[in-house]
Structure 1
Amino acid sequence: MYDREARFPMEDTMNAARIEYTEKGVMHMASRRADVLRISMSGAILGMLTQYNLPQQFYLDIPDARISKVGCLLMKTYTNNTVEVRFLRLMTQKELDRIFIFSTHPAHKDKVLDVRSW
């Protein structure tokens, strides 16, 4: 299903993120830190500090941009501690703009926050 969907172009970014998932059935929630390296409306490339055994489905939080509980599906794991994920819903342009405002990537240094849109 996900391989037949339209792909949106990825854009470089650098945001702190948190991955949340359940371990051992539904016993407890585990949380791991990650970095959003590239993002589009339908997916992202996440960088990890170390190699984790991630489940196929998990939640992604981007606390700086106040985006929480975005459902993700693990598509591919790379050897350089990065993973490619697809979102279970499309990100809106408003959410992407908020992510780019709080990004530390040099390509987004001129982005400003429009207070009226919040």
Structure 2
Amino acid sequence: MYDRESRFKMEDTMNAGRIEYTEKHVMHMAARRCDVVRISMSGAMLALLTQTNLPTEFVLDIPDARIMKIGCVLMRQNANNTVDVRFLRLLTQKELDRVFIFSTHPAHKDKKLDVRSW
């Protein structure tokens, strides 16, 4: 299903994120911190601090940009503690701009916040 969808261009970013998922068949809720390294409207690349066994489905929060509960599907887990994920819904351009505004990446240092669009 995900290989038939259109892919959007990934852009470099640096935002803090949080992954939440259930362990042991809904008995325990776990949360891990991560960094959003690259993002597009349909997916992202996340960097984790340690090697963890993530489930195939989880929820991503980007608290700086006030984007909560983005459903994700794990596409690939790389050896350098990064994971490629696809979103269950497309991010809007407004949400993507908010991610870039709060990014600490040097490519987005000139982004301005339009207060009227919130």
1:1-118 alignment, distance < 5 Å:
1-118=1-118
* Separation of aligned partners in 1, 2:78 and 2:4: 22
Residue identity in the other structure for 2:57: Q
The structural deviation recorded for 1:19 is 0.1
* Separation of aligned partners in 1, 2:28 and 2:109: 39
Residue identity in the other structure for 1:103: S
The structural deviation recorded for 1:28 is 1.9
Q: How many residues get paired?
A: 118
The structural deviation recorded for 1:86 is 0.1
**Which string of whole-angstrom CA distances, capped at 9 and with x for unpartnered residues, describes residues 32-68 of structure 1?**
0000000000000000000010000000000000000
**What is the identity percentage for the equivalent residue pairs of Structure 1 and Structure 2?**
79
* Separation of aligned partners in 1, 2:29 and 2:62: 17
CA-atom RMSD, angstroms?
Answer: 0.4
The structural deviation recorded for 1:20 is 0.2
* Separation of aligned partners in 1, 2:52 and 2:33: 11
Structure-2-length-normalised TM-score: 0.99
